[in-house]
Structure formats: C-alpha cells, structure tokens
Amino acid sequence: MPQGDGRFIVFEGVDGSGKSTQAFLLSKYLGEQKMRVVATREPGGTVTGEEIRRVLLDPQAEDLTPQCELLLYMASRAQHVGRIIKPAVERGHIVICERYCLSSLAYQGYAEGLALEEVAAVGTFATGGFQADLTIILDVDPEIAMERDKGPGTVEADYDRIERKGIAFQRKVREGFLEITRERPEKTRIVDGSRRAKEVHEEVKRLVADVL
C-alpha cells in the first residue's frame, strides 16, 4: 500500500553495485518530472546517523561484534525513518534511499550469521514497521563490483572496515539478497546491475513507474 501521497523507494546491493549512480539518475529524472524528491542513504542521512556511519566504517575501529554492528545500523535507521523518511513520505515526497532493512538481513543476517528472525524483529522495532513501496536490488558479481568501485591498483588501505571483510563475505551478501527476494517477492525487484548505467536506469524507470 503506498504511504500518504509520497513513495519510499530503496536501492540495495553489494558494495560497489552502482546504488549511488542509480539513486542519482533516478532523483534527477523524477526531479525533471517536477516531483518532490528526497535522496538519502544508510547508514547516515541524519546528523546522528552520519556519526554512527563514521564509527561503523572506520578501519581503525575496534573489532565490533555482529550484534553491536546490527544495533548501530538500526539506531541510525530509527533516527532516519523517524525524522526524515516517514515525515517526507507523509508530506508527499518521493524518498529515494540507498540501503534499508534488507541490508541488515543480507549483511548481519546471511553474511555475519545472526538469526534472520531476530534481525527482522529488531528492524520492525527500529522502523515501527515502515516499509519501502519498492526495493530495487542491483545484482552484480562482487568481484566486478569491487573493481568497478575502486578501480584497478587499489590497495587495502583504500577499503573501509566492511570492504576489508573480503570477496567471500560479499558473495554471501549477494546470495542473501537473492534469497530474501525469492522468499519475499512482493515489492522487491532484482535488476542486472552489471550492464551500463544508462541501461540499468531505463529498467529502473520502468519499475518505478509501476509504483507511482
């Protein structure tokens, strides 16, 4: 069910899958159609959320337990949904967000091994059950994604704390996203993100048109 007059659209995918590019292209396109767009991301999107993001991605941070990570992502999300996303959707805006609850299921659940029902339950608590009208998963082989994101000749010092978990971790994340979609196909669409940005954008526009 669409929420108010606005819509909540989420991009998901492994690191480097092109979420930022697609979120930017979609925001620009909808803006040109005279729609009121709010573009945002997780972790982050609020002052407190950006502080939490800094802690989570800091390569110098101590070894965080998966439980601690989950709660930090969710704390950022609670503030984000309560103060930015939900009010904007209720005012009739189209909110375009990079990452939301499915990231926690894929990363902290499938890849880190936390129980999926527990991750989902914390997600419901953090968001008050506020869900996206459409989630687009940009599916890309993690190896291609990493290379595309960082370019050749990248050294480990260029990676954030999560990227340092490596390619095997990203593969589990990718499988997690695909599995989640298989189990809950409503409102979730997989898009082949390995194609040129322009082609991916054309498909994204078609999917978004169905929910506007």
> In this structure, which amino acid lies at residue 2?
P
Q: Which stretch binds ligand TYD (CB under 6 A): 31-39, 99-107, 126-134, 190-198?
A: 99-107
CB of 135 to ligand TYD, least distance (A): 13
By CB under 6 A, the residues from 153 to 172 that bind ligand TYD are: 162
Nearer to ligand TYD, 6 or 109 (CB): 109
Running DSSP on this structure, what letter comes out for residue 12? E
Near ligand TYD by CB under 6 A: residue from 6, 16, 18, 193: 16
CB of 84 to ligand TYD, least distance (A): 14
> In this structure, which amino acid lies at residue 32?
E
For residue 107, state whether it binds ligand TYD (rule: CB under 6 A).
yes
Q: Which stretch binds ligand TYD (CB under 6 A): 26-34, 102-110, 125-133, 197-205?
A: 102-110
CA-angle at 45, arms to 174 and 68, nearest 5°: 60
- For residue 62, what are the CA distances in angstroms to 55, 160, 161? 10, 13, 10
151, 204 contact by CB (below 8 A): no
CB of 112 to ligand TYD, least distance (A): 8
Token pair, residue 66, equals: 């998966």
- Which residue's entry shows tokens 């050294």? 155
99, 12 contact by CB (below 8 A): yes
By CB under 6 A, the residues from 34 to 63 that bind ligand TYD are: 42-43, 57
Q: Which stretch binds ligand TYD (CB under 6 A): 28-36, 103-111, 181-189, 204-212?
A: 103-111
For residue 12, state whether it binds ligand TYD (rule: CB under 6 A).
no
Q: Helix, strand or coil for residue 159?
A: coil
Element holding 150 (H helix, E strand): helix 142-150
Site residues (CB under 6 A) for ligand TYD? 15-16, 19-20, 42-43, 57, 73, 98-99, 103-104, 107-108, 162
